[in-house]
Amino acid sequence: MGFFDKIKEFSLKVTEVENSIYGGKTDYLEIYERNLQLEKEIEQRTKELNLANKRILTLQHILDMMNSAKPLQSVLENIVNSLQGELGYLHSNIVRVTSDEKGEYMYVLAQSKDLAIQRVNSIIHDPMQTRRLAYAPDSFYAEAINEKKIVQTKNFEKALKFILPELDEETVQETIREKQSKSLIIIPLYTRNKPFGIFCVFSSREDLTETEADFLTTYAQQIEVAITIADLFETVKAQAVTDSLTGLYNRRYFEESLAREVMRAQRQNQPFSIIGLDLDFLKKINDVHGHAYGDLAIKTIANILKKNARSIDIAARMGGEEFNLLLPGIDSKGAMIAAERIRKAIETEEIETIGHITASIGVATYLEHSDNIEEVMELTDQAMYLSKRNGRNQVTLAKPITETSWQEIAVNTFLDILSKHNVPIDSTLSDEICEKLKNANQTKDILYSVADMINSIYNPLHSEGVMKSKVLLAVSLAKRFDLSKEEIDNLRIATLLYDIGNLMLPQSILLKRGPLTDVEHIKMQEHPLIAAREILKPISYIQDVIPIIEHHHENWDGTGYPGKIAKEEIPMTSQIILIVDAYFALTEQRSYRAKLSPKEALEIIKQDAGKKWNKALVEEFVSLIDHDLN
């Protein structure tokens, strides 16, 4: 091989090496570039994950705050501060759209605490959160709400003039001079498909990406949930203390308010008055026009009470057609003036189809008539029913108790029975109960407690507090039939005593789980006569109560016991005890069956209307229970 041939061969080898090196270099560069791309993708994914994590944390904060007991404004302020702090927005706020007699307007419900809002507030002097903001129908804000979409604007001047048109040009220009915010993002807020307001975010970015818009939409939805839950909570809270038909406070709230007012009156030695009011002829309205018009009459009374009550007065529907008005700091003279004003307002009000209605009203004053609130309530009740008995549509001021009260008669009756050991109760327990009765300050509560204790002896499943509920329900029902005060007082005593004859029956019958035999049925049916004739007859001052107890198991169709009398022969007070007793028996646990729900018990009672009970009585009873359930 010649010299030139060797050079040519060497050149070929060099070329092969170069090609090999170049090929390797290309591969290396491709690998290097691919790795760089992967690193960028990993970095981007990491940023996305970090942002997503921040968003999740922010939403979790909202959920946590929604589950707390903080007020709505506090929750919303924490929400906007979380957004501003965690995601780098310069400022955010939640604005409510509302209206009054001057028209629609907006106000800041919550805003983030930052330098941006501090600067704006210092320029416009009155802080943004205290201002009435204009709501222009052609504004960005209205556009977001009306079209249910996110609106972004970079025109801060226009955005500011929309809400504060009264600002002069110099103030506007100074306010928007700050250059950090590049755009304003407006997100509409809706609660239960109704417009609530807007959620505003001041961003340092000019563009709004689809991902960011999705996040802000989700964030706004969480705000909407927080607002909705807060509204529902307030609604439920209000429902717990208000009457659903009238919007007045209910019995429970009235009694709580009364207890607070007693403490205040004692501390300041200042009287307060109670006006008791009962709508006249509600049963007649229901019978002639139907219950819808009866409800309308009740609502009319409620509206008149609202109009005539001061902001510090407590107007309450106590049940059925009965209302109370608590007047803090008002003596009997002032209360009588207020009561007469209410009476006239009711009398002059005309209702569609019904025409005019009237009410019977009673007034009593704490520290004037008595320093015992139970007596004051009793006196109010008595005065109201004296108005009713004397012709209705009048106001009666309470008078001091000049005769023995029903509580005293009941206490003396229990003392007589227990001290003489006329019933088979352990003597130690009898003596203990007698001591309680003799030293009682709150007579009613002691009476209810004693009646519960005695019932528990022959019925171990009896619940404490049931006797009080029975008496209150029986009295409410009696008032619907315009029974006299004397009849109602006798009913109260009879309700406490009607089952006392059970103490004389064998426990094997009372607590038997299976069905009773014929002989046991006959024995069981003796308890009204035992109570009436053996236990109570020797007590002279209880004679008017005995017939009520003796006939409290007589049925309307004559199939009851012990006398098998029917219809109007049965005292109304006995019929009331029978239906009240049946209702509580059905809704209490028994040894032979589980307790029923109130609605299940009412269905059973309704099935026996016209047979076991007077139809009118059933109708009024169901109405009373439905009111309590609702």
Q: Enumerate the active-site residues.
A: 321
Structure token digits, residue 310: 């001061």
375 touches 401 (CB < 8 A): yes
Q: Which amino acid is located at 30 in the chain?
A: E
577 touches 474 (CB < 8 A): yes
- Count of CA atoms in the C-beta half-sphere (13 A) of 338: 30
Distance CA 135, CA 132 (A): 9
Task: Label the pairing between strands 395-397 and 359-366.
Answer: parallel
Distance CA 407, CA 443 (A): 7
Distances (CA, A) of 62 to 68, 75, 80, 112, 225: 10, 8, 10, 14, 9
583 touches 608 (CB < 8 A): no
305 touches 315 (CB < 8 A): yes
Distance CA 258, CA 253 (A): 8
Distance CA 348, CA 260 (A): 34
Q: Say how far residue 458 (Cα) sits from the centre of its chain.
A: 37
3-state secondary structure of 583: helix
HEC profile of 527-579: HHHHHHHHHHCCCHHHCCCHHHHHCCCCCCCCCCCCCCCCHHHCCHHHHHHHH
548 touches 494 (CB < 8 A): yes
547 φψ region: left (φ > 0), alpha (ψ -120 to 50), beta (else): alpha
3-state secondary structure of 392: coil
Task: Label the pairing between strands 350-351 and 272-279.
Answer: unpaired
Distance CA 430, CA 168 (A): 86
Q: What residue spans of 588-614 are helical by DSSP H?
A: 598-607
Structure token digits, residue 367: 């520290």
Nearest one of 197, 204, 265, 183 to 228, comparing CA atoms: 197
At residue 490, what are phi and psi to the nearest 5 degrees?
A: -65, -35
7 φψ region: left (φ > 0), alpha (ψ -120 to 50), beta (else): alpha
Distance CA 375, CA 202 (A): 64
Q: Say how far residue 59 (Cα) sits from the centre of its chain.
A: 30
